[in-house]
Amino acid sequence: MNRLFEFDFLKWFYPGMHIKRWLALTVIGVAIMTFGLSYVVREAYLTGFTFPGFMYWVTLQFIPRYVRGAMFMTGASGLILFSIWKLNQSLISVLLPHRDPAASLVNTIYNQRFLRRGPKIVAIGGGTGLSILLRGLKEYTGNLTAIVTVADDGGSSGVLRRELGVLPPGDVRNCIAALADAEPLVTKLFQYRFSDGSGLAGHSFGNLFIVAMSGVVGNFEEAIRQTSRVLAVRGQIIPSTLADVTLGARTDDARTLLGESSIGSGLENGDGTAHRIKEVYLLPHNPPAHPEAVRAVLEADLIVLGPGSLYTSVLPNLLVQGIRRSITASPAAKIYVCNVATQHGETDGFGVADHVKAIEDHVGKGIISYVLANSNVVTESIPHAEQSQPVRLDDGINNGIRLILDDVISESNPYHHDSAKLAQAVMRVYYERDQVAPLPETEQDLVTADKML
């Protein structure tokens, strides 16, 4: 009962909770029943019915009637509230068995209602970066759509793609794991990768699960829906296209590389340096965009590009003409989340402006409204990333793009984003987007917008 007197109790009466109307209806029903019972008791008294002696004490007849009435109404109100609270707790424990047991019931309901009313956010990309972003954003809204590339041809996804003719499930699996509300053990199982076994080594359980689901339900997109339902995913995951596309690249030394997995490795020279990518493209050209992805972009309140591999995760989605055109046509705020570190073989030596220029060179200007870049540049050596370095901030950005700097790096690995920090920064840009002045198109020096607090 102590919970009834905590501040959280007031949340039951917040607008949009859909609680007050049913509580009022319950009280009205109990009142009507009480009136009926009082008529029966009154009639029993008038007809001379003799009540047992203990009723004198049970009904507190030794206390004045007005005092008794107040006591009974107060006690009844408390019992009603307590019973409704326990009933809802029982129902929630069945419907949301994996919720935090330490969280109050009203906060669980309030959060669910709040997430449903959150902004419609479309995140576009692939790889680890997109899953990091989604893991943070799902705490702010339930209206999330992840649009992922299907150009992956390496690792487990590449083997399944070549042998079974399915779309690569790897990026989809990462997004499902990031957005899932299922029990943590189930999520770990979904990400489990077999280390040995004939034909199994290198495959993840989640990839095999999605491919198996495709066989059961008949197609890849329905397999994503059903897998998302099983794992209680917040939001939806949509491929940018259902076409069997191959990513190609042309380098500054006039070479052509085909396949996402070959692009990074194919750029390296024997001395540890790497050639620059001049252009990436899709084969076949102009694959049709997924209609649901186009619809999600056009209805979005916020569109986020990245983070992720610039040439092999972000750009492959933008090269789908329907996706690119819908982003341009959308009135939503458009944020590009720049990587915090360069990627060897793709973006060696790149600064923030180089990332933006690469996007604009491929899809034209006007597709980005904001660039969110890391302000906490850590220069110490990272053992497993010795060929990477922090993305430079000493570059010019023009074309009226608004530059936002914030600390978004992970404390455990400064060469990766932190999901909570990144999501908080993205939502801050969204809610305060009208307070950041655009840069003049003629500006050539790096102009840092005030960090929004």
**DSSP letter for each residue of 129-163:** HHHHHHHHHTTT-S-EEEEE-----SHHHHHHHHH
- Tell me whether residue 326 is in a domain: yes
Percentage with pLDDT > 70 across the chain: 81
Quick one: which of 169, 152, 175, 180 has its CA closest to 309? Answer: 152
| Same domain assignment for residues 56 and 125 | no
| 142 and 94 in a common domain | no
* Same domain, residue pair 63 and 138: no
Q: What residues form DSSP beta bridges with 251?
A: 277
Total domains in the chain come to 2
**Same domain, yes or no, for 112 and 244?**
no
Tokens of 295: 């619809």
Instruction: Report the half-sphere exposure of 300 (CA within 13 A, side-chain side).
Output: 31
pLDDT of residue 78: 83
Residues 22 and 131 reside in one and the same domain: no
123-166 per-position pLDDT tens digit: 999 888 999 999 999 989 989 999 999 999 988 999 999 999 99
Residues 16 and 132 in one domain: no
pLDDT bucket at 276, cuts 50 / 70 / 90: confident
Say what the pTM is.
0.77
pLDDT attached to residue 265 = 66
Is 158 part of any domain?
A: no
State residue 172's pLDDT score: 95
Q: Which whole-number Å values give the CA distances from 269 to 279, 312, 344, 391, in the listed order?
A: 19, 20, 12, 22
Residue 107 lies in a domain: yes
User: Residue 349 above 90 pLDDT?
Assistant: no
Do 275 and 336 reside in the same domain of the chain?
yes
One-letter amino acid of 441? E
Q: What is the pLDDT of residues 370-422, one digit of tens each?
A: 999 999 887 665 555 557 889 988 656 767 789 999 999 998 888 899 999 99
Residues 278-291: what's their mean pLDDT? 95
Residues 128 and 10 in one domain: no
Whole-number mean pLDDT of the chain?
83
The mean per-residue pLDDT over the stretch 74-87 comes to 80
User: Is a pLDDT exceeding 60 seen at residue 88?
Assistant: yes
Does the residue 179 lie in any domain? no
Percent of the chain with pLDDT over 90: 48
- Residue 42 or 192, more confident: 192
State the alpha helices, DSSP H only, in 181-219: 184-191, 205-217
Domain span at 81: 2-116
Return the closest-CA partner of residue 315 out of 359, 357, 348: 359
Q: Last residue of some domain: 116, 131, 159?
A: 116
